[in-house]
Structure 1
Amino acid sequence: MPRRVIKKEQQDPSPTPTPTSAHAPASIASHTMGPPSRKRLREDAIDAQSAAVSFIRSHAPSAETCRRGHDDDQEPMFLELRARPGGGPTGSPQSSQNADTSFAHQSFAHPTFTNIGVKLRELNNTVGSLQQLGVCYVAELPELVLVGDQSAGKSSLMSGLARVDLPRSAGVGTRCPLHIRLINSSNAHWSCTVALQLDYDFEPKGKIKKSDVTATNQFPPWVKKSHRDIKIFKTIFDPSEIEEVLRWAQVAILNPKNDHELYIPGDGAIAKGGDLSEATRVAAAQFSPNIISLEIKGPELPGLSFYDLPGVFLSPDQEEDEYIVKVVRNLTRHYIQRKGAIIMWALPMNADPENSISLGIIREAKASDRTIGIMTKADKLALENEAQWLAMFREEKQSVGHGFFATSRPPDKPLETAAKWEQLFFSREVDSWPAEFEEFKDRCGVELLGEYISTQLGKAFEQSLPSIKAKVYTRLDKIRNQLADLPEIPENVEHEVKKSLYQFLGRMKTAMKDSEFSSEWSSLNNQFRDIIMKIKPTCRVKEPAAQTIDLSDADTEVSTVTPSKRPRPSDSTMRPTPGKCPRQENEMPTTPVKQESFTAGSLFRASPAIGTGLAEMHSPFAGFRNLGRLAMDIQDIRTQVRKKQRPGMPRDLVPDEVREAMCLDAVKKWQGPLETYIDKTAELLERVTNQALEESIGVLRRRLIFRECQIHLKEFIDKIVASQRGRLADMYRSETYQMYVLNEDSFSRYKAQELDQLRRARAIYRLKAVALIQWNYEIKNLADMSDDDRSREQKIFTQQLPKIGNDPYETEIEVAAFVRGYYLTAATRFVEGVTMNVNSHLFRIIGSTELDFFMDQQLGLGRAPLNVYEHLMEEDDKTASLREQLKSEIDKLSQAMTSINALECSPDGGSGSETILPASIIDLDDDMEEGF
């Protein structure tokens, strides 16, 4: 590991340099302008003393005492400070006999400056690292912010400071902020990493008006995020590529809803096939407060970082973009108001400084004392305005705390020659820089400006370092305590997850066999069977304007009206006139109704549990009870038959299509009960499986694994129920497609049974109509009648029916019996098929390994990394998110503390300690490779 060797101070007989060198470091001789104010003189003395002490502590060499070894193998440099007889270090740049090597006229990256600025570079590298880590929410960091009006020459100035050609036309600088970080790297190769620092979300809500821009909504339609997202855009190794990459990075940042990789030059689909100017024109946003960052590494670069903001302006090109004027001002104000910001105010010398919009914002924020005035475009200075700019140099007008610098980097000059040209310009060897400005020569040129701002940034950071460190440490300690208070995750988290899942899946397989579940499902099946049987179509057997006998599957309703033939007055069977007949014993005010069921041997006798009582009312199928009521009428049947008969057909010959249509109409009423049956089966299944989940891993109810299992279990149940629903729907469609009878014995038996019931009811009706049977004759269930009663009724039929002849509706009665017989045959098949299919398919899947595979897949446990198991053992989503957020913040703050501690331990750091700094910390940018 390379070490920096420090020799003790020795007496040096070299001549004492002139103490008021015009070419001294900016921290020492930055204000040698006249006439200086008393306050400025005092500040200069303090700055000089501070800088001198700082440089002595860092063992910075003079121009003559620098000893360099070979840089290629990173040999340590032996630095020596010599004490002059009068005290203080020797080796002022002015002692050099070669004017071309004068400190003020050397490149900012000249070895003399880089050696003197080792401490500054490390300070500024550290502050750049902290800025990129985004820890400014914990402690306010010193920062350089370049502001100015449009066309103020900021782009040329920025290119000079960054030592790379940046876009100078309308584009990058006008649409979003730019953060440039320069890092002196031991690597001989130049590189630049462009990244998008996303602090705001894009939430457009229609066309934006100027009134939408308020103090609380400064950058519509952008909304502040809770954290910063950093997306690497592209790393390049050729400075000539930087302009194109930056322009496409701007397009990406203005289209936040799209994947930023689409806009990467050379790789992204849009960047490959699109036109850059058109892509910029049609961008989703016209402006963004999100930042494009450039991390530039290279040999002999100063440790410097600064923000460049879009130029403020008065009016946009399009009236609809008026709001952007306010947005850009808000952005400028947002950065200027930061107490740690050192403002670099650019104002061109070919314009009137009194018209500067930026100066008004600076004064409004009371930031003038933190401002460095930078006069750009010095080569454009008009002779008649010299007095005005001289007054500003002398702090007589537009005074700012750090005074003014002048720069001149014409856009037509290549970067390689611009620095030399500027040096010659301010030395009055080219062009026409007025001699009156000679006294401010030490404040002219981008190189001297860069030296000054680097020094000021380093000093500000050094002064605030103890406070920053304390705040970062306090925040770090607080977050660690927060993390410690979160629910503990089991040590062997993978084992715990798998064990819990095994218990759950095992319990699921036994849940389907539990007696409680079997009992509930059996009850549901019985209710489904009963409702299907109950909605068997009933038949109205009355003739028009005659007595009515209404039949249902479980009862026979008999209602009477005035008979068609008036009985003799002496006939005991005569029905009295309504309202005048005396009520006889056991007589009801309306037609008597007697419950009638099937024969005792019937397979489809009404279930005692459902009947017409309380159990039936609470059945989930209660709403379907009357679906089959009066579904047929003998008169309607006759009408249908006659419509379908061909001419000349016998009246008692019924077309098959009539029978089939009526049978299919009867079974189509199953759709509602079937859907209810599926829904109730799904509810039962979901309830039982959730109970199994609770019993198996209920102790982990507060953990995400319980919630995840619950969610995915419902997904699985919904999936298999949907599949089962499709199967049963197919069964229903098969029943309603066409008539189908294979078990003809059952069909014949049911049809004969139904024909006997209908003929009996029809016979009673006909006998009452002609007063051959008492009008209040009560129809009883044959099973409930005694043998004598049945014999008596049969005797009446035998004696009386021949008297009234054949039934004119016998054919219609036979059709009704056919339909009811087919209904019972199909219903038997359907109910058994539905329930068996559910049992053999739906419940079988629950007990199979299909659920195991589904849960593994949904939980992501197939060769899952440890963090997947840790996530499942988190308390909940909010806790998991908070844990990840705290871990991320701890990582950032830990990196920040490492950078700060490394800086303090450095021989050139703030502590002045002799501790050797590890090589990995000396080049802080190497650690920041993964910081994005």
Structure 2
Amino acid sequence: MEVDGLSGQTHANSFFGNLPYHELSPRSNQVIGKNIHVNGHRATSTNPSTVSDSFDIIGADMKELIEAMTALERLGVEKSEIAVPKVVVIGDQSAGKSSLIEAMSEIQVPRNAGTCTRCPLQITVAPDSEPWRCTVTLVYKYAWYDIEDPYPSDKAQQPFHPWTESDTSTTHFATLTNKDDLKDVLERAQIAILHPSQNPTKYLKGRKPVKTEVEFSPNYISLQIQGPNLPNLSFYDLPGIINQTEHGDKEYLVDIVRNLAKEYISDDSCLVLLACSMESDIHTSSAGSIVHSLKANDRCIGVLTKPDRLPSGDPVDIWRDILSGRKFKRGHGYYVTKQPAQTELALGHTEARTLEDEFFASAEPWCSTFADFKHLFGTKHLQQALSRKLASQIMRFLPDIEQKVEDRLASIEEELATLPKIPEADAYHIVTECLNSFMNEVNKFVKGKFPDYGFRNTWKAEKQAYREAITDLRPRLSVASQHDAKIHLLAKASPSKPKALHNVISLDDDDNSPEPVAATPTKKRKADDGRVATPASTPSRTARRSTTNSHAVTISLDDVKKVLELFSVSGRPGTFDPEAVDHLILKGLQHWGSPTEQLKIHTRVHLVKALKVALDRAFGKHKDTQLFALVQDIVFTFLDQRLVKHQEISEMFLEHEHHQPSTENHDGLEHARLAMLSEIESYRFTHRARKLLMAEATQAGKTITEEEFELKFNKDQKRLKDVLGADPAQREIDVMAEIRGYYNVASMRFVDNICRSMDVEVFEHLKEKLRAVLDREVLFVDGMHVQERCVLLLAEDPEREKRRGELKIEKSNLLEAKTVLGKLQEKFSTDPIRQVDWDQAMC
């Protein structure tokens, strides 16, 4: 007997004989004992006269099953880890896959280079009494990011890099009623998919771009085709497997295409349609290797294409072994199809099928050597088998799908129950109380009210450290002079080369003493090593001193002399231009910017710490809300804005100081100048006296120790002054005293201005202005009712809110999926004829 055109005889080499797989018998509506084989499957059949009646019933059911699965996919149930049975078509490039797709779907696809191979294509075909129509939809499951690095370190987590999984969305592209329009529209849809950053509708008309933004996309095009005499079929066509790119510069695309195939066929509910060209060595099929590596052979249907290109003289035994299941075994065996040649592409579907039938009926070795396998030849047999196998696969997995939907819904309900609800009744009161409490905390730490002294004490220490840092930048003055070379001539004994005396006490002399100068009594000089006595260093000052000292300017008496002579425009000896002194003064002020910037940075750190404590205290249990995140952002933005204002004022003060030396504090300047003059003259006298005593000792053939120098210096000061006489560098000493005196006055003025700016522009604004900003930006936004605004703000943080939204969407989709499944269950449980057929299919 024959069943649906398939031979009913039992084949000795049946490759399904021992597999426990049950598929729909195309013509059976009850279970009786007679066994037949359909494409190698054992099935039970009734009297042949009753078989054809139920096939139409099952055909209608196939349509509903396939439509239901398509609906589940559109609802995104696969993101809930619920697999939907599908047929996936894969094959190597040039394996004849495009022709096979055209034959099964009865449409024509574009065949231009690089077209219709760059993204998955979902094709759902169903019979309908209405005229032919096709709906083209773009389905976006992945977002594209233009990232330069095509090889991420976490490749396992990013199989389609630079594509990342996102919420599923769809865009209707076109609805067609003319088959002839589909080829062009499908090509345009492909172009739209490959331009992820553009509006897809712009490619529906007009000129087609030559280049695309991306070469491949994991997003897919969906074709829903309905019309008279069409088969019930749904499948995915994937890009052909490639082993290298055209120019070798984008090898990561090889991985994307392979990962795409693995993504689709790794699911146990998926049926794999593997296209293999008979003009190529089946051993080298990359697509076949992927199927094998994923252990998907039991779910695989092999399709041998291009039988007319079987190499002349090629042994046929290998193909007989393949068709009989002895080699390259596939769980659902192999079919063979013959599609039109390039010269026959204009043929309609009916003509193409007629030529295909004639080929297998007349061409060698198909009509003779392979005659036993004629039930496996032709697109019609493949279409019918695919429809039955897919419907059986769907029915097989329906109970599992229904259970997973129920389980996931229960899990969603459980998770939603753990997420707190948004408060509504007292939302405004809660928000304003939090803001009041926060501003109270700010006022306390800024003013330093008991017991919140921490910040004010820290600010006091920062000001002290800043003052010392600026002080450490005052010019370092060297008291050595070229005039000192003649001091040995004043010694009583005959001249001789003086020996050096170590530990020379000087005012930053040419021994490069690292500290600034100060006048010190002779007895104290030994104790402090001749260096400036300074206040005890704070930790901040100690940490910053090495930086500030390294920037301090060193000026020697000889440097002063050179500058005075350079600026002199008078011919009178001893006179100099006041601008020369201004030049030297300004040279010592040039590094104030660095410690001023450090003061701002350190103060911000302390303010941020204090503000965070205030926020934590004020918002407490509401720290996980959008209110807390918003207020924190507003507060720190406000702080940085005020610090920018302070910096602008600091730069203005710095510019003023660098403009020209000037002060109205005449008394203070004169006092500072006289004090520095006394100090410098004292160090200068000590320096010259040391040189003289060393020369006298050397001329007497003796050496002098530090202790002896101290005794002679203290005992013979009057004699030393008389011998040394007036200092030849007195003019330069007077100028040095003016430089240091002005620095002391100007630096303290600058420090006061900078610290005062911080007090007014930052601290006072935090106390007085911040609350108004918070009210404006927190409560009164976009005209929203303040109560609604507060309810929204008291929701949990955005990530948790996003999660709740995602769960609600997923729940809604799953409930709709449950409705779809419920309708199927109701249909098959209430129709006795259908129930018998489906029960037989599943038993």
TM-score w.r.t. structure 2 length? 0.70
- Give, in angstroms, the shift of residue 890 of structure 1: 3.6
Distance 1:315 1:530 in 2: 68
Q: State the distance in 1 between where 2:287 and 2:689 align.
A: 111
1:687 maps to 2:609: yes
**Deviation, structure 1 residue 193:** 0.6
- The alignment status of 1:613 with 2:536, answered yes or no, reads yes
Conserved in 2, the CA contact under 8 Å of 1:409 and 1:418? no
1:306 aligns with 2:235: yes
| Distance in 2 separating the partners of 1:860 and 1:443 | 73
Partner in structure 2 of residue 121 of structure 1: 63
Match of 1:236, SS? strand
- Is 1:194 the equivalent of 2:138? yes
For 1:96-111, list aligned pairs within 5 A: none
Asked if 1:153 corresponds to 2:90, the answer is no
SS in 1 for 2:589: helix
Q: Residue 825 of structure 2: which of 904, 915, 923 is its match? A: 904
CA deviation profile, 1:527-575 (whole Å, cap 9, x unmatched): 544554565556555766979xxxxxxxxxxxxx9995569xxxxxxxx
Q: 1:261 to 1:33 in 2, by over 3 A?
A: farther
2:563·2:580 contact (CA, 8 Å) conserved in 1? yes
Aligned partners of 1:663 and 1:739 also within 8 Å: yes
Aligned to 2:7: 32
Gaps of 5+ in 1: 1-19, 23-27, 56-85, 94-102, 104-111, 548-560, 568-576, 580-585, 598-605, 781-795, 915-932
Q: Equivalents in 2 of 1:617, 1:424: separation in Å?
A: 94
Match of 1:77 in 2: none
| Deviation of 1:659 (Å) | 0.8
Identify if the C-alpha distance between structure 1 residues 884 and 415 changes in structure 2 by more than 3 Å, giving closer, same or farther.
farther
Give the C-alpha shift of residue 410 in structure 1. Answer: 2.4
The answer on 1:474 being equivalent to 2:407 is yes
Say yes or no: does 1:410 pair with 2:352.
no
Structure 1 residue aligned with 2:759: 839
Among candidates 220, 226, 229, match of residue 292 of structure 1: 220
Using a 3 Å threshold, how does the CA distance of structure 1 residues 722 and 629 change in structure 2: closer, same or farther?
closer
Report how many aligned residue pairs link the two structures.
763
Aligned residue in 2 for 1:460: 393
The whole-number CA distance in structure 2 between the counterparts of 1:645 and 1:405 is: 107
SS of corresponding position for 2:590? helix
Contact 2:323 2:373 in 1 (8 A): no
How far off is 1:237 after superposition? 2.0
- Cα 1:612–1:44 change in 2 (3 A) is closer
2:592 matched residue in structure 1:
670
CA distance in 1, matches of 2:563, 2:772: 57
Q: Distance in 2 between matches of 1:655 and 1:173?
A: 87
Structure 1 counterpart of 2:122: 179
Q: Counterpart of 2:273?
A: 344
The CA distance in 2 between the partners of 1:803 and 1:319, in whole Å, is: 92
Output the amino acid matched with 1:842. Answer: V
Aligned match for 1:661, one of 576, 583, 595: 583
Comparing 800-809 with 177-186, which one deviates more in the overlay? 800-809
CA distance in 2, matches of 1:888, 1:415: 46
Distance 1:535 1:354 in 2: 82
2:8 and 2:286 map into 1 onto residues whose CA distance is 27
Q: Which residue of 2 aligns with 1:266?
A: 202
Change (3 A) 1:884 1:295: farther
Match of 1:525 in 2: 463
The alpha-carbon distance between structure 1 residues 643 and 329, as it changes in their structure 2 partners (threshold 3 A), is closer
Report the counterpart of residue 109 of structure 2 in structure 1. 166
Are the counterparts in 1 of residues 468 and 541 from structure 2 also a CA contact under 8 Å?
A: no
Q: Does residue 746 of structure 2 align to residue 826 of structure 1?
A: yes
Deviations 1:590-627 (A, max 9, x none): 74769999xxxxxxxx9xxxx53365886666557868
Is the counterpart of residue 644 in structure 1 residue 619 in structure 2?
no
2:841 aligned residue: none
Gaps of 5+ in 2: 32-45, 494-500, 504-520, 694-707, 834-843
TM-fit CA distance, 1:768: 10
* In 1, Cα distance between equivalents of 2:323 and 2:540: 100
Give CA deviations for 1:170-198 in whole Å, capped at 9, x if unaligned: 53454443322346799986421123443
Q: How does 1:495-534 map to 2 (within 5 A)?
A: 495=428, 498-499=431-432, 502-503=435-436, 506-507=439-440, 510-511=443-444, 512-515=446-449, 516=453, 517-529=455-467, 532=470
Larger Rg: 1
Could you tell me which residue of structure 1 aligns to residue 506 of structure 2?
none
Q: Distance in 2 between matches of 1:814 and 1:234?
A: 89
Query: RMSD across aligned C-alpha pairs, in angstroms?
Result: 5.9
- Tell me the CA shift for residue 428 of structure 1: 5.7
| Deviations 1:507-528, CA, capped at 9 Å, x for gaps | 4762533443445434543554
Matched, 1:813 2:733: yes
The 5 Å alignment of 1:206-605 reads 222=160, 227=165, 229-230=167-168, 232=170, 235-238=173-176, 240=180, 242-247=182-187, 250=190, 259-261=196-198, 264=200, 266-267=202-203, 275-276=209-210, 279=211, 285=215, 290-296=218-224, 298=226, 304-311=233-240, 335=264, 338-346=267-275, 370-374=299-303, 395=324, 402=332, 407=337, 409-410=339-340, 418-422=348-352, 424-425=354-355, 446=379, 449-486=382-419, 490=423, 495=428, 498-499=431-432, 502-503=435-436, 506-507=439-440, 510-511=443-444, 512-515=446-449, 516=453, 517-529=455-467, 532=470, 536-537=474-475, 591=526
Change (3 A) 1:627 1:912: same
Distance 2:332 2:568 in 1: 112
What TM-score, normalized by structure 1, do the two folds share? 0.65
Counterpart among 128, 132, 135 of residue 78 in structure 2: 135
Q: Aligned equivalents of 1:770 and 1:467: distance in 2?
A: 108
Aligned-residue sequence identity (percent) comes to: 22
2:236 and 2:502 map into 1 onto residues whose CA distance is 104
Shift of 1:660: 0.5
Give the CA deviation at 1:736.
1.6
| Letter matched to residue 571 of structure 2 | G
Question: Structure 1's 910 and 446: CA in aligned 2 closer, same or farther, altered over 3 A?
Answer: farther
Q: Verify the 8 A CA contact 2:105 2:125 in the aligned structure 1.
A: yes
Q: Shift of residue 331 of structure 1?
A: 5.9
